[in-house]
Structure 1
């Protein structure tokens, strides 16, 4: 569906640019607030408190997500800027500064038979931390790429469009948490619909300004290869950190999958806030979409192999 939205934006960009009578961009803006409201409703404070015990593992996951990841990408900035790829680098850095995924991290940890409760805790905390940390990281470089960065305007919008809905949602958890869990499949479809709308409108702007015409097929293939390399580099380093800290197998699995994943949901909705009224959003989202597709494929293969390894000793003993 992401690919379909990009093709639709290329061949039929006008609906994504129309302001009257209905603006898809405004629908997406309102949808972003509802995504975070429903996320807060499903977030149980009791479960978060219960997850605080394994603090060493949580620190490793969050430092990997919000410090190690961005520092790796930051190291390659001079190389990419010297070759004229400032916007693509900004997109990769935006990806690196994002929080971890929620649902897919938990699913992968579950398949690989890791610590599921710790995965839920880390994914939830990562989402909350990202509301503050991601804009701070990206704000350091937005001005040079877009020609300006109004921090006050962006943080006000973050508070009202993201943080406030989450807080309201958490306050409603005791009343409507069970209802939200019951209809989480329908809420997931709503999330996906808003994400696809954001992707469509973002690429409509980028295509209308002919921003992709400067990139060759080889350069885009190189970007895809770079995203694969980034995933494996972080995955291997996180595995090394887990062994150095002496984590159990279950905790190591949780650190591996929570620390190496990045959230497409948060990326698309935050791009609406951080790059508002900008035509570069499509380019900025491109590395994230490539990374997202690859992380799902690679992580699912790795998780299933881990599960088979855990099953084989049982099979041998029987």
Structure 2
């Protein structure tokens, strides 16, 4: 049976369960310290496996389409942050400073990889170019996201220079990723029949980081700081951001003369933000209980983008080729 279009995916349901668990049974003290160490190891393993899974042939196939990739990168790291800055006065009026920081952090994150490629494939778009664009966005995000955080969230990130953030992310995310790429020839045959198990590893790493971050935030009184009306406001802000980016990516793609297949790539890769990269980056770039509040906008945006893009992918798939 086909999943109803607006039914949350399994990962979103698991995220909700983890937030509820952290709200009722938050970890603290020595247990929290043990989980912190475990999450660092899990994140390194997560990016090692991402490196090992990325096909070099698929990336090479899409690398020559530089106009498309540059367009996607400009949407992810220029226009998205600009929209966040333009909305900042309204964000500060509607949200707490920590949630405002979370929305701005969301705006400087790289694109998703797996879901962007999956939606492009469903929509009958240029899958090779999607692999290249999404992968390039994540690799460049290792350097660009800390730099943009330092520039746009300087007050919140006091004590952490852009170079500090980049070095931490290089050590904890990029080096494991490169090691995975190097090990790919030996691991590829072993990984192929174990895709489902490896997907569970991806999800477990993210869920563990979310649990630890929310536990610390709960201990510090998270739900006393976020009223139900503020959650509604946050969902509305996420919807506005997503609608603007979907509209702009489509409009610009057509103005630049991209084919329908390439338009699909720009729309899906340029409008989406990565939970898989964003949660580990937040853990590295921000300290203390604010991390739970900072990743809350990303979690809401993640769910919204999946539901909306699933509908759009199906509509693109049903188009008549001329």
Residue 221 (1) aligns with residue 236 (2): no
Gaps in structure 1 of 5+ consecutive residues: 314-318
**Which residue in 1 is equivalent to 2:277?**
266
Count of equivalent residues: 309
Q: Distance in 2 between matches of 1:90 and 1:21?
A: 24
Residue 252 of structure 1 is matched in structure 2 by 263
Kept in 2, the 8 Å contact 1:142–1:148? The answer is no
Deviation at 1:227, TM superposition (A): 0.3
In structure 2, the CA distance between the partners of 1:20 and 1:107, relative to structure 1 (3 Å rule), is closer
What does 1:35-46 correspond to in 2, within 5 Å?
35-46=46-57
Q: In structure 2, what is the Cα distance between the partners aligned to 1:232 and 1:20?
A: 41
Q: Distance in 2 between matches of 1:287 and 1:69?
A: 15
Aligned to 1:284: 294
Distance 1:82 1:236 in 2: 26
Specify the alignment match of 1:60 in structure 2: 71
Asked if the contact 1:38/1:180 (under 8 Å) is kept, the reply is: no
Partner residue, 2:9: none
Question: Which residue number corresponds to residue 302 of structure 1?
Answer: 312
TM-score by length of 2: 0.90
Give the deviation of 1:288 after TM superposition: 0.4
Gaps of 5+ in 2: 1-13
Aligned partner of 2:170 in structure 1 is 159
- Write the mapping of 1:179-258 to structure 2, written as runs, cut at 5 A: 179-258=190-269
Residue deviations 1:55-105, cap 9 Å, x none? 111111111111111110011112333556321121011111111111111
Deviations 1:237-280 (A, max 9, x none): 0001101111111111111111111111001111121114x110
Deviation at 1:287, TM superposition (A): 0.5
User: Normalization by structure 1: what TM-score?
Assistant: 0.91
TM alignment of 1:109-148, pairs within 5 A: 109-145=120-156, 147-148=158-159
Root mean square deviation of aligned Cα = 1.9
Distance 1:78 1:86 in 2: 11
CA distance in 1, matches of 2:230, 2:115: 29
Q: Is the 8 A contact 1:91 1:288 kept in 2?
A: yes
1:44, 1:177 within 8 Å by CA — same for their partners in 2? no
